[in-house]
């Protein structure tokens, strides 16, 4: 399927039907950016849409809420409709709002309904820390000890979580399940349909953190029956640092009053009545709390154009092919240097990045940066490399592995301390 020689990488690039999208992004031709799973690059479309929104502010002032190409009053709903195809939700089930963790707090406040004998929240021990902090604080707000009431499913190998182990932990005392779609270190893609079916058979609502999958993996949240999901847009969706996040709530829960209410969750026709009785929107818009962060959401307008043109299924196909190519090159060229591929190799279990484990991971990442390659380090020993479909070429993948080989062969990594910088 794959070949070792450099010419083969060039041939793959020539055959790539999505290759023209790299021209849409700001990146130096000599730089290889393998960290789109942490922060996506700026696209020219995102820059333009940000400019357009600031122009609307300049030209319309407060009139921008109802005037211009993208009236701010409806912007969160309009973008939710455009995000919906990426997550497999109905347009009314998706809203662009908040941040990942504030949306998690909102959703747990809404769906965690402890009762006698059923008080625990089920998560996993490999989850991203921010999710765990939020779950711990929600339990404390209900008067429960997180050490007792937050159940974290153990990993058998320190990298992945077995779905059967999660299902076995869905006991009668569990009131809510919160899981990642993709584990942030190893890149394991969980079987969302299987887990959702198992949770519902036991009468437990289930939600997913899609931060490491939305924009690189097609989802089917509605048909799978997922109760809710939440995610950021600044990774694979390229909306910019601190970009506004998104959430999904299945239509079967419409009419439920959110746990945390605020005026932008109001029915749009009632919002400016200024009554002290909250009339929630009849869809996912009810889960908004405060006024939209218009300037932070603006880049998403342009970024989504690229997804609409490329198609998420095509993006996933290319992502799988490129991560497969990267793993092949690692095994061919780096087999003698102590690297272990920590992500699942099966397509159906793999996200958008490759997890390389090495005892000197932090120092290797520093060496890569000095070779004009941007990787991503995760403690204690993980190098994450994301060959993003939009702007990382097959030749970039080939060059990255050859640079890694030079770093290891000449022991260049030994020049650096094997510890992370302030930001990894």
The Cα 33–Cα 397 span in angstroms is 10
Which three-class secondary structure state does DSSP give residue 233?
coil
Confirm whether residue 231 is marked as ligand binding. Answer: no
Residue 281, token pair as written in the block: 């929107």
CA dihedral 16, 334, 343, 393 (to 10 degrees): -20
| Structure tokens that stand for 243 in this block | 């970009």
- Encoded tokens for 117: 């004998």
Q: Where on the phi/psi map is residue 85: left (φ > 0), alpha (ψ -120 to 50), or beta?
A: alpha
CA–CA separation, 414 and 386 (whole Å): 24
CB neighbours of residue 162 within 10 Å = 15
Give the pair of three-digit tokens for residue 237.
């969706």
267 among the known binding-site residues?
no
Residue 209 annotated in ligand binding:
yes
Q: 129: annotated binding-site residue?
A: yes
What token pair was written down for 95? Answer: 């809203």
Q: Is 131 labelled a binding residue? A: yes
Q: How far is CA 20 from the centre of its chain?
A: 24
**Given the structure tokens 């092949």, which residue do they identify?**
328
Q: Is 172 annotated as a binding residue?
A: no
Q: How far apart are CA 313 and CA 304, in angstroms?
A: 14
305, 308, 302, 319: which is closest to 391 by C-alpha? 319
> 263: annotated binding-site residue?
yes
**How far apart are the C-alpha atoms of 225 and 249, rounded to whole Å?**
10
Does residue 323 have a known ligand-binding role? no
Contact 228, 260 (CB under 8 A): no
Neighbours of 344 (CB within 10 A): 18
Can you tell me whether residue 344 is helix, strand or coil?
coil
Any binding-site annotation on 100? yes
Token pair, residue 381, equals 């020993």
Is residue 400 a known part of a binding site? no
The answer to whether 69 and 56 are in contact (CB under 8 A) is: yes
Cite the annotated binding site for pyridoxal 5'-phosphate by residue number. 100-101, 128-131, 209, 212, 234, 263, 291
Binding-site members are 100-101, 128-131, 209, 212, 234, 263, 291
């Amino acid at each position: 399927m794959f070949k070792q020689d450099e010419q083969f990488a060039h041939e793959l690039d020539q055959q790539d039907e999505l290759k023209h999208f790299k021209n849409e992004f700001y990146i130096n031709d000599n730089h290889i950016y393998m960290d789109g799973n942490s922060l996506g690059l700026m696209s020219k479309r995102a820059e333009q849409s940000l400019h357009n929104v600031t122009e609307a502010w300049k030209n319309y002032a407060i009139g921008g809420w109802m005037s211009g190409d993208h009236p701010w009053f409806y912007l969160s709903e309009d973008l939710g409709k455009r995000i919906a195809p990426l997550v497999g939700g109905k347009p009314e089930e998706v809203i662009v709002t908040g941040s990942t963790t504030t949306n998690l707090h909102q959703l747990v406040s809404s769906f965690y309904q402890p009762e006698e004998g059923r008080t625990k929240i089920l998560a996993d021990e490999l989850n991203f820390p921010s999710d765990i902090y939020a779950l711990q604080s929600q339990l404390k707000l209900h008067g429960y000890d997180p050490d007792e009431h937050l159940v974290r499913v153990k990993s058998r190998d320190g990298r992945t979580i077995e779905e059967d182990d999660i299902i076995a932990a869905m006991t009668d005392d569990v009131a809510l399940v919160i899981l990642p779609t993709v584990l942030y270190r190893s890149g394991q893609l969980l079987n969302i349909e299987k887990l959702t079916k198992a949770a519902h058979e036991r009468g437990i609502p289930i939600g997913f953190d899609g931060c490491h999958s939305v924009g690189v993996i097609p989802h089917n949240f509605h048909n799978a029956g997922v109760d809710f999901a939440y995610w950021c847009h600044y990774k694979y969706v390229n909306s910019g640092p601190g970009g506004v996040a998104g959430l999904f709530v299945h239509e079967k829960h419409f009419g439920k009053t959110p746990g945390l209410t605020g005026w932008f969750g109001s029915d749009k026709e009632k919002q400016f009545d200024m009554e002290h009785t909250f009339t929630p929107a009849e869809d996912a818009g009810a889960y908004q709390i405060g006024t939209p962060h218009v300037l932070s959401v603006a880049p998403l307008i342009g970024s989504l154009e690229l997804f609409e043109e490329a198609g998420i299924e095509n993006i996933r196909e290319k992502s799988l092919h490129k991560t497969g190519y990267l793993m092949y090159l690692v095994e061919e060229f780096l087999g003698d240097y102590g690297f272990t591929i920590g992500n699942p190799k099966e397509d159906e279990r793999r996200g958008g990045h490759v997890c390389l484990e090495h005892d000197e991971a932090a120092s290797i990442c520093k060496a890569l940066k000095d070779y004009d390659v941007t990787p991503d380090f995760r403690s204690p020993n993980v190098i994450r490399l994301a060959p993003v479909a939009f702007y990382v070429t097959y030749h970039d993948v080939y060059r990255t592995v050859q640079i890694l080989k030079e770093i290891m062969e000449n022991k260049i990594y030994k020049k650096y301390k094997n510890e992370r910088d302030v930001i990894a």
